[in-house]
Structure 1
Amino acid sequence: MNRYYVDLHIHIGRTWTGKPVKITGAKSLTFTNIIEHARHEKGLNMIGIIDSHSPEVILEMESLIQSGDVIEHPEGGLVFGDLTVIPGSELEIYDEQCKGPIHLLCYFPNLSVMREFSSWLSGHLKNIQLSSQRIYVSGLVLQKKVKELGGIFIPAHVFTPFKSLYGKGVTQSLTEVLDPELIDGIELGLSSDTSMADQLKELHNYTFVTNSDAHSLAKIAREYQVIAMEEPTFQELQKALKGIDGRKIVANYGLDPLLGKYHKTVCVECLHSAQNDEQLCTHCGSNKFIKGVADRILELKTAEGSPVWRPPYVHQVPLEFIPGLGPRLLEKLVNHFGSEMAILHEVPYEALKEIVTPKISDLIMKAREGKINLAAGGGGKYGKIAD
């Protein structure tokens, strides 16, 4: 069984003609730029591009297939050299039943099925061109359509305070919104990890995925997983999410939850840290708070510990978080060692010191070993390295 680096949540900022897809995404996030950057700079083996329903994105994929730059694998996935692209879509549901807004991820094996899904979507949302659009059907209807088309269905960043399954504080159980039998995995998001998520007993039956939710090229692979598969295809990914025939998630790599934007509860006005039961901010007197993921999970807690089959969660500090490692120096490292994955996992300390200062080399090694000191984030502001 082979092992592959996988990030399944990457946004498209613009089409190849410059039209917006993800409004908050970088203009450089075109389909072609993403696959080139993910393959050559990041060193990933499989990615999910979750705005692939947009008609102009479909045209770009068709063009790449016609030119021979991208090949459709018979077992699903679009192959670009040693990188496989899984086309997907992020959608928002919000109705009386779901109590949303809630973001959901849908993935499909090939361009033909994605084209069919896009056509169906166009009758249920206001702007088929854009990312993360609200779809005017229930979560159950969406699930059934995805499964009818042979797709993969995963709730997105499930604990984020905004636009997630558990985050807003209304939904207490996924069964209030979705059919638990039609869920293929759970995306944790940047402010939680396995040990936190497994405090919810109802999540013990699901594989956890850790993805970047990248809104820029630099953010690709800030979270990812290593997956054991025979080869990087859609069918193999389906098996891995279900743990079938030795296919499985080997390890999740993600931010230490302290680095996430919504880990702790903070005051809306001044971002001062607050206790979950505080009525007024002790710093500015405001009565408005953004509840942190850690506090929200404690409210929902129904279990202790993780199931025995759960793979390890490795706290990974992205290279862009390393103080002093700016874009030019990072580019120099990547050019020398081949990819960010190689730098994060494989390059020896002595080799790093030949390219960057001992201080930066030390921080990279500490981050690799989970020995770095962190200051917690909250209220939309990332945590940071405290060393």
Structure 2
Amino acid sequence: MHIHIGRTRLGAAVKITAASSLTLKSIIHYAKEIKGIDIVGVIDCHVREVLCEIEDDIANGIAIELEDGGINYSGVTLLLGSEIELYDENCQGPIHVLAFLPTLAAMHEFSEWISTRMKNSSLSSQRIYENARVLQQKVHELKGLFIPAHVFTPFKSLYGKGVKESLKEVFTPALIDAIELGLSSDTQMADQIAELHSYPFITNSDAHSLEKMAREYQIIKMMNPTFKELRLALKGENGRRIVSNYGLNPLLGKYYETICAKCSAVVTLQCSNCGSTSMIKGVSDRLRELASSKSIEVARPPYQHQIPLEFIPKLGKKTLEKLRDHFGTDMNIIHQVEEKQLQQVVSPVISSAIVAARNGTLSIKAGGGGTYGKVE
């Protein structure tokens, strides 16, 4: 539910820091054939050229707009989303948020509305100068979903720089539909904050390349893969619900540890290596500052730590292609294929590492300061 578009079909940049191979067509293909995903949330659908491409696909019979919201591409449902960098007078720093709209008509109206409040609505994650609560109200007026993104990341997030202590400083709590955790935290860590206990947690990849898709995701129980059913699942209504969250072990995230901004050493208050007091505060330390809940025994779906195949040592591109040729999607390889079967295709070192990752027994060096953690 958090995938960027790098380039449009005509080659125009959308997310400048994303790979040019991240096109709408390649996202749908990778979701279905490579990763094993049924629903993708593309969060640059406010861009008019992207909307035009979707409408052309519908006109040409490639896609169908679903009655209950979403666009069906040959069995993969596309959710129409937009990531916005929010800044208003109550923010301590910019906050990234996700807005999902049920229909093309609603997304067109939303795109027009935000285009008068930002400098360049043809790009992703652009800053909007508007009161946060007004933005929330607009999303809900259009029957959409409002979700603060990667909420603990040190930069451009709700708790990273956006607020001092509480989301109430910026947002209307009742108009938040879910909380996106980000790569450097999991359910247990996030539930140290009592005000989050009433919200469902979602785990998303924030993909800037095709391979980053599905490094985090959720399994959701719903009748059909539509926007309406997703809304019911986030509310836990009529038997719909999030069944389980899958995400990186937080140690693998880019911002788990607090890092010296000057020399990248792991620090607390002052770097013993170079003496600098300039730090990039890690998610683990920021959560300890915010912790307000004595008990973190909140009724939640299980959170499964997952290590994507690209993190497995000695597993290169050619070996990955070989695995996919034999066993299909990454989901199947990571979670289902038995070690004996894996050994028929890859070396015992790689096959045992995949199984160890599945069982949570690999040793991990924590990441921080913008550098991913590493499987040792």
Q: Report TM bin, short chain.
A: over 0.9
Residue 28 of structure 1 aligns with which residue?
21
Match of 2:65 in 1: 72
Q: CA RMSD in A?
A: 1.1
The runs of at least 4 consecutive aligned structure 1 residues that moved more than 4 Å come to none
Of 343, 349, 356, which aligns to 1:366?
Answer: 356
- Counterpart of 2:188 in structure 1 is 195
Map 1:282-297 onto structure 2 (within 5 A). 282-297=272-287
Note the alpha carbon deviations across 1:319-364, whole angstroms, 9 max, x for none. Answer: 1100111122112211221111111121111111111111111111
**Structure 1 CA distance for aligned equivalents of residues 87 and 234 of structure 2:** 27
Give the SS at the match of 2:159. Answer: coil
Q: Which residue does 1:102 correspond to in 2?
A: 95
Equivalent of residue 374 in structure 2, options 359, 362, 384: 384
| Contact 1:90/1:132 (<8 A) preserved | yes
Number of the residue aligned with 2:213: 220
How big is the shift at 1:219?
0.3
Q: Does 1:343 align with 2:333?
A: yes
TM-score normalised by L of structure 2: 0.98
The answer to whether the Cα contact below 8 Å between 1:265 and 1:378 also exists between their aligned partners in 2 is yes
Report the 3-state secondary structure (helix = DSSP H, G, I; strand = E; otherwise coil) of the residue aligned with 1:362: helix
2:253 to 251, 260, 268: 260
2:156 partner letter: K
Corresponding residue for 1:234?
227
CA drift at 1:236: 0.6
Q: 2:242 and 2:350 mapped to 1: Cα distance?
A: 30
Pairwise CA distance, 1:169: 7.0
Uncovered stretches (5+) of structure 2, i.e. residues with no partner: none
Question: CA contact under 8 A between 1:104 and 1:156: conserved in structure 2?
Answer: yes
Match for 2:241 among 248, 253, 256?
248
**C-alpha distance in structure 2 between counterparts of 1:32 and 1:10, whole Å:** 13
1:165–1:171 contact (8 Å) kept in structure 2: no
Partner SS, residue 79 of structure 1: strand
Contact kept? 1:265, 1:292, Cα under 8 Å: yes
Distance 1:317 1:223, change over 3 A: same
What amino acid is aligned across from residue 231 of structure 1 in structure 2? N
Deviations 1:263-284 (A, max 9, x none): 0101011110112xx2x31112
The 3-state SS of whatever aligns with 2:2 is strand
How far does the alpha carbon of each residue in 1:63-82 deviate from its partner, in whole angstroms, 9 at most, with x for none?
Answer: 11111111111111111122
Structure 1 equivalent of residue 321 of structure 2:
331
Q: How does 1:145-160 map to 2 (within 5 A)?
A: 145-160=138-153
> How much has 1:98 moved relative to structure 2?
2.2
Q: Deviation of residue 309 (structure 1)? A: 2.2
User: Aligned residue for 2:310?
Assistant: 320
Aligned amino acid, residue 258 of structure 2: T
Q: TM-score, normalised by structure 1?
A: 0.95
Q: Percent identity?
A: 57
Give the secondary structure class of the aligned counterpart of 1:225. strand
Larger mean CA deviation between 165-174 and 40-49 belongs to 165-174
Aligned residues of 2:149 and 2:157 also touching (Cα < 8 A): yes
Could you tell me which amino acid in structure 2 is paired with residue 378 of structure 1?
Answer: G
Task: Report if the CA contact (8 A) 1:195-1:305 is conserved.
Answer: no
Counterpart of 2:346? 356
In the comparison of the two structures, how many residue pairs are matched? 376
Equivalent residues of 1:15, 1:57 under 8 A apart: yes
Change (3 A) 1:230 1:306: farther
- Whether the aligned pair in 1 keeps the contact of 2:191 and 2:298 (CA below 8 Å) is no
- Matched with 1:5 is none
- CA separation of 1:305/1:316 partners in 2, compared to 1, >3 Å: closer, same or farther? farther
Paired residues of 2:150 and 2:182 also in contact (CA < 8 A): yes
Give the secondary-structure state (helix, strand or coil) at the position aligned to 1:212. coil
Closer, same or farther in 2 for the Cα pair 1:286/1:206, shift >3 Å?
same
Pairwise CA distance, 1:287 = 2.0
The answer to whether the Cα contact below 8 Å between 1:169 and 1:296 also exists between their aligned partners in 2 is no
The correspondence for 2:171, drawn from 175, 178, 195, is: 178
Whether the 8 Å CA contact 2:91–2:163 is kept in 1: the answer is no
Q: Secondary structure of the equivalent of 1:24?
A: coil
Checking the alignment, whether the CA contact within 8 Å between 1:199 and 1:303 is kept in structure 2 is yes
Gap regions ≥5 residues in structure 1: 1-7
In structure 2, C-alpha distance between the alignment counterparts of 1:93 and 1:22, rounded to whole Å: 17
Go from structure 1 to structure 2 and tell me whether the alpha carbon gap of 1:86 and 1:354 turns closer, same or farther (over 3 Å shift). same
DSSP 3-state at the match of 2:254: coil
Structure 2 CA distance for aligned equivalents of residues 356 and 88 of structure 1: 39
Counterparts of 1:111-130 in structure 2 under 5 Å?
A: 111-130=104-123
Greater mean alpha carbon deviation, residues 254-263 or residues 300-309: 300-309
User: Cα offset for 1:116?
Assistant: 1.4
1:35 and 1:321, CA in 2 relative to 1: closer, same or farther beyond 3 A? same
Q: Distance in 2 between matches of 1:145 and 1:335?
A: 46
- CA deviations on 1:233-262 (whole Å, 9 max, x unpaired) are 101100111111111111111111100000
Which of 78, 81, 87 is the equivalent residue of 1:88? Answer: 81
The answer to whether the Cα contact below 8 Å between 1:204 and 1:307 also exists between their aligned partners in 2 is: no
SS of aligned partner of 1:65: helix
Shift of 1:170: 4.2
Cα offset for 1:22? 0.5
